[in-house]
Amino acid sequence: MRDGILVINAGSSSIKFSLYISDGDDKPLLSCKGQVEGINVAPHFIAKAPHGGVLNEQRWPDQPNLSHSALFKYMIQWIEAQLGDAELKAAGHRVVHGGSLYSQPLLINDDLMAELETLVPLAPLHQPHNLAPIKALKEVHPELLQVACFDTAFHRSNPWTAQSFALPRKITGEGVKRYGFHGLSYEYIARQLRQIAPAVARGRVVVCHLGSGASMCAIHEGKSIASTMGFTALDGLPMGTRTGTLDAGVVLYLLQQKGMTAKEIEDMLYKQSGLIGVSGVSNDMRVLLESSEPHATEAVELFVYRISRELGSLAAAMGGIDALVFTAGIGEHSPQVRERVCKHAEWLGVEMDDEANQRGAQMISTMESPVSVWVVPTDEEMMIAKHTREVLQSVKVA
Ligand code: AMP
């Protein structure tokens, strides 16, 4: 019998799922994916086939406040009806925070859950929502093997210097340090590179994960050395609606001089800044690239400028750079942004092949370029499915 592996990625207002079927091959096969969104407002369930055809859709117009767990149970029942001759063997969850200790995906038990609960203060906007479906699934399927895959885990190989703020030791000891995020995406890219270009994968690579959340990571010999995200996913590059790096003095100013509350500042930094804040037009890069509004043009300029500055910093962390990789929504689909980043990076030895870039080729640098440049689509769900299957296999063997 084939194994069904469920991947869950839950946020505050949505729960995304992907169902994979594995018969032991290297790559689990995506069977269907979907989400419940609009939780507490206008719940909406949609499920799609791998190539996008809608398989099922459901709304609850009379029950806008239908609970998280009721919606989750509806979703699980629908998923189980899709298994065919496969058996649901395991569920892998994206858990944003694994703290300082966890550098690997882990089989979930009560002790681990208690540990992960203690990390909620470090990621209050995400961690509780990541843990909720683990508990809900345990109620429905107490025996199902569940695996936690951490967004911070890949960066635990960072040297001490890359993980530290220059704060008093006491506060650092309480866990105020740089954790880094988007780790599942970077790990997936590092594994893909090993297949696409093994020599490149052994070198010094900077990966630009440019989506609605955006960050960059320095990877040497497949291991994370440094990244632009820090204590939270607010640090580093400007994003769709998040500021990226900000002088901490600005937060003090907003608090002390403007009299803003912590909640108002949180909203400003997470939801009203970045591309939307600078442009006043949109958080969507496609809209900004097509807009003739001067502030939209400046938002793109600032985004590219910050990427270019961070690229220098990450190259310095590795003592140089051999390859540059673009991934996620903007990185995979915007030749304009890639071209502008590569232009700024000529001083590092980047020579872009314009035609290959426009065509969306896998390698978009010239053959002579001292630094090769790649476009590699990311797939965090597949990474979670692979991890979950690895844990499942290790449990079977033990
Ligand atoms: P992600 O979070 O990885 O799904 O990326 C989402 C973002 O990618 C969107 O907000 C868009 O700004 C951006 N994006 C998607 N397609 C394109 C495109 N063709 N050109 C520029 N940006 C794009």
DSSP 296-316: HHHHHHHHHHHHHHHHHHHHH
The first and second tokens of residue 159, run together, are 């040297």
Minimal-distance CA residue to ligand 1 atom 4: 329
Contact partners, residue 169, CB within 8 Å, separation at least 6: none
Given the residues 3, 151, 353, 379, select the one marked as catalytic: 151
Annotated ligand binding at 203? The verdict is no
Considering its fold, how many domains does the chain have in total? 2
- Please indicate, yes or no, whether residues 226 and 338 belong to a single structural domain of this protein: yes
Rounded to the nearest angstrom, the distance between the alpha carbon of 328 and the centre of ligand 1 is: 7
Using alpha carbons only, what angle is made at residue 308 by residues 307 and 310, rounded to the nearest 5 degrees?
65
Map residue 206 onto helix, strand or coil: strand
The first and second tokens of residue 313, run together, are 């910093």
pLDDT at 345: 98
User: How buried is residue 37: exposed, middle or buried, by Cβ count under 10 Å (0-12/13-18/19+)?
Assistant: middle
Rounded to the nearest angstrom, the distance between the alpha carbon of 283 and the centre of ligand 1 is: 10
- Please indicate, yes or no, whether residues 36 and 106 belong to a single structural domain of this protein: yes
Rounded to the nearest angstrom, the distance between the alpha carbon of 192 and the centre of ligand 1 is: 21
Alpha-carbon Rg for the chain, nearest whole angstrom, is 21
Strands 214-220, 204-210: parallel, antiparallel or unpaired by DSSP?
A: antiparallel
Q: 398 vs 143, 305, 391, 392, 394, CA distance in Å?
A: 17, 51, 11, 10, 6
- Percent of the chain whose pLDDT exceeds 90: 89
User: How far does CA 50 lie from the centroid of its chain?
Assistant: 20
151 is catalytic: yes
Instruction: Specify if 166 maps to a domain.
Output: no
- Please indicate, yes or no, whether residues 231 and 296 belong to a single structural domain of this protein: yes
User: For the segment 265-322, what is each residue's pLDDT rounded down to a tens digit?
Assistant: 999 999 999 999 999 999 999 999 999 999 999 999 999 999 999 999 999 999 999 9
CA–CA gap between residue 102 and residue 88 (Å, rounded):
26
The residue to which tokens 């806008």 are assigned: 64
The first and second tokens of residue 295, run together, are 């502030």
- Please indicate, yes or no, whether residues 116 and 197 belong to a single structural domain of this protein: no
Q: What is the mean pLDDT of the chain?
A: 95
User: How many residues in the chain?
Assistant: 398
- Please indicate, yes or no, whether residues 333 and 244 belong to a single structural domain of this protein: yes
pLDDT at 322: 98
Map residue 374 onto helix, strand or coil: strand
Segment 42-51 shows an average pLDDT of: 95
Annotated ligand binding at 194? The verdict is no
Contact partners, residue 282, CB within 8 Å, separation at least 6: 275, 276, 288, 291, 296
Residues with CB under 6 A from ligand 1: 211-212, 240, 284-286, 289, 328-330, 333-334
- Please indicate, yes or no, whether residues 73 and 137 belong to a single structural domain of this protein: yes
User: How far does CA 336 lie from the centroid of its chain?
Assistant: 22
- Please indicate, yes or no, whether residues 100 and 240 belong to a single structural domain of this protein: no
User: Which of 100, 126, 150 lies at the terminal end of a domain, its last residue?
Assistant: 150
Residue 328 pLDDT class (50, 70, 90 cuts): very high
pLDDT at 398 over 90: no
- Are 216 and 314 in contact by the 8 Å Cβ rule? The answer is yes
- Please indicate, yes or no, whether residues 271 and 124 belong to a single structural domain of this protein: no
Domain boundaries, position 98 = 2-150
User: Amino acid identity, residue 45?
Assistant: F
Instruction: Specify if 171 maps to a domain.
Output: no
Residue 13 pLDDT class (50, 70, 90 cuts): confident
- Please indicate, yes or no, whether residues 342 and 262 belong to a single structural domain of this protein: yes
Indicate which atom in ligand 1 lies nearest the CA of residue 240. 10
